[in-house]
Amino acid sequence: MPGNNVTLVGNVTRDPELRYTASGQAMAKFGLAVNRRWQNRQTQAWEEATSFFDIVAWREMAENIGESVQKGARVLVTGRLEQRSWETQEGDKRSVVEVVADEVGPSLRWATATVVRNERRGGEGAPGGAPPPREPSGAPSYDDEEPF
């Protein structure tokens, strides 16, 4: 299957931030640290490197992540890489590569989990009828639903 599919296993670096687009679509964003450890063949010492990724999830999965995932949790993420570009109010160009999640789940390597199936949610929009939060000035915004 062609494409830019990725699978990551790592630790959540910050609690998910749940937001809603202007059209009412839920979007969750969190950080993921992926550690790599290897033994140096010349020195026999163990070495380690950490890579950090921003994970973005949409719709019901975003709401489930907001309720289920916390900083420090070990999770598996499958998705695709996406690059977004924007210009700040000062005219500076910015760009970010994010992982847009197709699936997020707990890692059961060193933990257990209890899965509770949600009922289908009726209607869309922010809980309690609250207006959707807005992105801070100069930051990229998600004005509409997932792009594609």
Domain boundaries, the chain: 5-129
Structure tokens at 117: 């199936």
**pLDDT band at 115; cut points 50, 70, 90:** confident
pLDDT per residue as tens digits for the range 63-94: 999 999 999 999 999 999 999 999 999 999 99
**pLDDT band at 111; cut points 50, 70, 90:** confident
- What pLDDT is recorded for position 131? 45
Nearest to 4 by CA among 74, 75, 144, 102: 102
Query: What is the spatial distance between Cα 125 and Cα 119, in angstroms, rounded to a whole number?
Result: 16
Structure tokens at 103: 């699936």
- What pLDDT is recorded for position 142? 58
- What pLDDT is recorded for position 136? 47
**pLDDT band at 144; cut points 50, 70, 90:** low
Query: What does the H/E/C string look like for the chain?
Result: CCCCEEEEEEEECCCCEEEECCCCCEEEEEEEEEEEEEECCCCCCEEEEEEEEEEEEEHHHHHHHHHHCCCCCEEEEEEEEEEEEEECCCCCEEEEEEEEEEEEEECCCCCCCCCCCCCCCCCCCCHHHCCCCCCCCCCCCCCCCCCC
- What pLDDT is recorded for position 113? 87
Highest mean pLDDT, choosing among 69-73, 131-135, 139-143: 69-73
In this predicted structure, the answer to whether residue 107 has a pLDDT above a threshold of 80 is yes
**pLDDT band at 102; cut points 50, 70, 90:** very high
Determine how β-strand 93-106 pairs with β-strand 46-58.
parallel
Kindly state the percentage of the chain with pLDDT values over 70. Answer: 79
Fold of 5-129: OB fold (Dihydrolipoamide Acetyltransferase, E2P) (2.40.50)
Query: What is the spatial distance between Cα 112 and Cα 95, in angstroms, rounded to a whole number?
Result: 37
Give strand pairing partners of 51: 34
Q: Which has the minimum average pLDDT: 16-30, 67-81, 132-146? A: 132-146
Nearest to 13 by CA among 83, 75, 102: 75
